[in-house]
Chain A
Amino acid sequence: MTTPDEDMLITGAGTAIRGVAGPAGLLRPAVPEASADPTASLTGRGLRYKDRATKLALCAGRDALADAGLLLDPGLAVPGESVGVVVSSNYGNLDTVCDTVSAIAAHDYTATSPMALPGTASNVTASWVAITYGLRGVNLTLCNGATSGLDAVSWARVMVRAGRVRHMLVIGVEPANPVVAELVGPTFDGAAALVLESAETARERGATAMARLGRHARRETHARAVGDVLGGLLDDRVDLWCRPETAPGDRVESAEEQDLTALLGPASGALGVVQCVTGAAWLRERAGGTVLATTQGADAAAATVLTGAGAAL
């Protein structure tokens, strides 16, 4: 499947990453150490029953909705059924699952907490985001390996295009915790989020665009994915390349390169969304250009193009 060019805009972005002060912070060369935990900004009851991924996603999601002008004080500026959610994460609920089997192994089923039950299903984060912000549209959780973040952005476009919702909140999140550390090793701890909507919707509500979403491809090799999204673009010129976690066999010629894995750690299912938020922030600062984001995993590689919003509105 290929996704044809169409006018789809990123109108807001947010991050919940230690040491990164919002999307523009992703353009800096290094992340300061010993920074505050972004989830400290969450308030309200029931936080102790939410897993780390959910808390991170709630922060980034809130900031992206607010940045897009969709979340005001005290609530959503548009009908809840017009906003959908897609969360991308591979390791989000591993802690709940593994801590539960450990508790059962050490004693029996009575050693578990009933509050943990929803967290055994991998959609727990998307569900809390919907509950917290009143988002009643389509609600998706994509667990698609290394390409999951870029794939989630692509599914968000399909949902808007199919008319299921007017606005999509896309969140990429991975938590660092003892379970993930033992199973996977050191990882990124954070979330990034963006709001996607059609140019028409953005125009109608007077929203400001950060970037325009271009083509997406998921292919058997990195080279094919890149070739398919760049084909036909102006000289195939890339101004900023957000590269994958592992080195691809082929290189992309670009004026600038951003290695978010070097900056933040292996971000797995969050990476693609972090890349798109980085690209959107870069395009907002420069008011134009072409950004290419690529990810690759054991089963496929994905590529997504972002361009300046220019005269979109």
Chain B
Amino acid sequence: MSGVAICGAGAVASVGSSLGEIFQALCAGRSGLGTPNGFDLGKYRTRLSFEIDDRPERGRDVPLRSTRWLEHVIEAAAAEAELPDLRGVPILIGTTLRELRSVELRWRDGVDFDLEELHFGPALRRRFGAVQVSTVANACAASLYALALGCDLIETGAADTVIVAGVDNISESTYGLLDRCYPEAPDALRPFDKARRGMLQGEGAAAIVLRRAESARHGWVRSVAVNCDAHHPSAPDAKSITIAMRQAHTRAGLTPADIDLLMLHGTGTPLNDEAEARSVGEVFGQSAPPPWMTAIKSMTGHTAGASGLHSLLVAVESMRTGTIPPVVGVREVMDEMAGLRLVRDEAVGDELRLAQVNAFGFGGLNAVAVVERP
């Protein structure tokens, strides 16, 4: 077949610094949960996050960590795709927070940081000579939204090769405001648990090389649907999520029964999980059996702008290996998920051909992708 092929991949998160390491950790049920070490914990009630441990000194944060991870994953993806020259290649970066953490450090602590580096263009120009860089700040749906843009460039003939990436680190403004918003501090990230208390932030980056090609190393992007609830700045809308899922199937020429694996967004917040579960129930409730379902955030945290691509790459690895990593830490699954096949505690093995990946963000942003194994 021919289509939009995933020809290279790179990833980093709290649980590993390559796709292989991350996938292995998730299948083994190994979580990256720890204590934030970039800021004064005396200011907060919540003391948990899924960080990448790369600061030179414990307790002292440094700027430009996201930029470094982004360079790392792009380099890995390009190397795997044997793409030596990135000068003319569109690079689309999905992110919630850009380098806003670096802005916080300059604003509050006087740390040296040039505002030109708030978006990722200058760093990628220096490192790779890249000039077709777009920083797309589409909240936690950002990297799948960027994937939609990348596929559009290829499908409309505007480009043959595109790099799509996602990246985020943890800013204190989001960490503090989440702490302020949840009635109780979460003790873990428990997606779809009846007693889930909220989301915990994670850090990481992911990148893939897309090509219009006849063969694919990692898999094919069959469709990406995107929309906006136009409903509420933070609360999701199940109706709109359902529309996005159905649209992804229609664009790929599939029905829900064709999907073997569903990578849920699964943030562990009361409202998000409820809306997602209701939509999934509506779309997949009639499939017998429904697809396997899992989510990565109980072990990676919510990697925000990177989370959609992290989920997509885990889906691709699951299809390649026939192993689906579990959700961990769920004690009693919420009623809305009762009839659905959520993989819990232990990895499950099965033959998989098609996976759906969900990513939703603040502002009612919904992005749903369908990927197929090579």
Contact = CB atoms under 8 A, between A and B. Distances in A.
Interface of A: 1-3, 80-81, 85, 90, 93-94, 96-98, 100-102, 104-105, 108-110, 112-114, 116-118, 120-124, 126-128, 130-131, 133-145, 148, 151, 155, 158-159, 161-162, 164, 179, 182-184, 218-220, 297-300
A43 B171 CA distance: 33
B180 A130 contact: no
B228 A121 contact: no
Contacts of A110: 180
A299 to B, nearest CB: 4
B221 interface: no
Contact of A120 (B118, B119, B138, B177): B177
B177 A122 contact: no
B174 A117 contact: yes
A37 to B, nearest CB: 23
Q: Which of A2, A90, A110, A123 has the most CB of B within 10 A?
A: A123
Interface stretch (B11-19, B229-237, B346-354): B229-237
B262 interface: no
B179 A109 contact: yes
Nearest to A180: B115
B124 interface: yes
A159 B156 CA distance: 10
Interface stretch (B2-10, B22-30, B40-48): B40-48
B365 interface: yes
Interface residues of B, number: 69
Contacts of A135: 228, 230
A144 B149 contact: no
Interface string B246-263: 000000000000000000
A117 B178 contact: yes
A104 B42 CA distance: 10
A220 B88 CA distance: 10
B103 A122 contact: no
A140 B95 CA distance: 12
Given A102-B108, A140-B145, A117 B177 contact: yes
A126 B365 CA distance: 10
Interface string B216-234: 0000000000111111111
Sorted nearest first, the 7 A-B pairs with minimum C-beta distance are A127-B363, A299-B121, A122-B137, A139-B228, A162-B152, A118-B233, A100-B173
A97 B171 contact: yes
A94 B122 contact: no
Contacts of B43: 104-105, 108-109
8 contacts: A96-B173, A127-B364, A133-B230, A140-B149, A141-B138, A158-B153, A183-B106, A299-B133
